[in-house]
A and B are shown apart, each in its own frame.
Chain A
Amino acid sequence: MATKKRRRPSRAKRGGISTTHILIVAGAAILVFGMLVVLNANRSQSSVSDVSYETGITSDGEPYKGSPDAPIQVVEYSDFLCGHCGDFADALHALGPDYIETGKVQVVFSNYAFLAPESIQAAQAAECALDQGADKFWLYHDLLFANRGTGLTAYSKPRLNTYAREIGLDTRAFNDCLDSGKKLAEVESDRAEGQSQGVESTPTWFLNEQMIRGALPQSDLRQIFEVQLSQGS
């Protein structure tokens, strides 16, 4: 009596998995991984890697933006933790296309870090950014002020390092600079220099050597600049 051999159900019918399935899943996994890396890499690329105005460093070692030949010079003493300093920086930034990029106003930045240890930390970080170029300093300056509202952790070392990466700094050099504390003396000397000129609070700024205390809104600043320009300063 011939025995009928019962065939085992095929893999497809039993709903099992095959080498093809494994290869497809492995391929899909690699594809998903690739997409995640691309998305992550895009995020990590700096969105602020360039400035549209002239930058440089004064003979005193302070960073400036705008032409050194500009008829108006604004020398500001600021603390990165100070809200009004941020407002003032925002106002100057907003007026940039009309006055700084057109060679009418030059802005010189000096640290006056006194509010908290985080202020001094941020000021040192900004000096470390300056080591890599005045344009990098201004990008870093803008990022610091843009993040000042996120609390004291905004100026924690990890966050300061993150900002450095975001603007495309050499992070190893930046970290070494910040860790070494070599900019502390410079930050303290900036403050002493400010005190010697009568600075007691921030922001304090000098409009063609005339001291003005406190921030001004954008409209008032524009008016002042226009008056100065009409007087042919």
Chain B
Amino acid sequence: MNTVAMIALFAFPGLLFAIPAGWLSVWAEHKAVARMQRRIGPPMLQPFWDFIKLIGKRTPARSGIEANLLRLYPALSILSLLGALALLPVFPQNGHGFSGDGILLVALLELPSICFILAGFTSGSLFGEVGAVREAVLSVANNLVFLLAMVTLAVTQDTFQLAALGGAKLNPGHWIAVIGIVLCIPAKLRLNPFSTSSAEQEIYSGPLTEYAGAALGLWQMAHGLEWIALTGLVATLVMPLGAPWWAAAVLFVAISAALVLLYSIVAAATARFTLERSINFYWRWAAVLAVLAIVSTVCMRWHA
């Protein structure tokens, strides 16, 4: 493992950067939504204090395989998101990736959603089941668009290696794919208008209803890391190529922050879609876009 890989895993955009940045993103979204509703909003350290308070809670004693599984899911989500963050091609020219790591990235980004669904079913609560079913359906809906977008990206560069996919390209297929990914992110982050699976108070707390204490704190940290990983993915795809490493880092943070603001505006401006409407949106409109993108890209490669 070379030094670049170690830095990517532990420092930037890995552990040391991602955890505070994730908390900052969660805070930024709450603060932006509050300001747009003429409220003041939480103080900056709020997600940190939430985490500390949750660590100090005494959780009910549970035994058996379910208890261990319930504790495993948030930990697994955090580990997979850290891996995904380490894979992101923030510094593509230093080349620490390998052929096909784009597929690994997609799998790692999908694992938190799967853990969320499994947590809902394992918790044995009715609200957990309802939330898990909603998350599963929503995941199938938005993954169609997400996967088609990733495949379009790969077809434009004729490889799945992230180092080749990263950076802004002149190819129109690249940009349509980026738009497709940008459309999928609110559903992955469970933000308005696609917040039906963790509908606040509509189904109590959905899959996380039975969670308490440190495990809940880890789920909230995983949510913050999801923010960073997904906005970071889009940031690496739109960054200009050939920037020095410090400029690349600054641009990464700046584009991620801009995306956080964009999603906050969308979250404040919309209400919650029903499941049917969400599926309609992804499978009718966004999927049409994605299918057009992949067909046109394949045609372009064939003729080139």
Mutual binders A and B:
no
Give the interface of A toward B (CB within 8 A). none
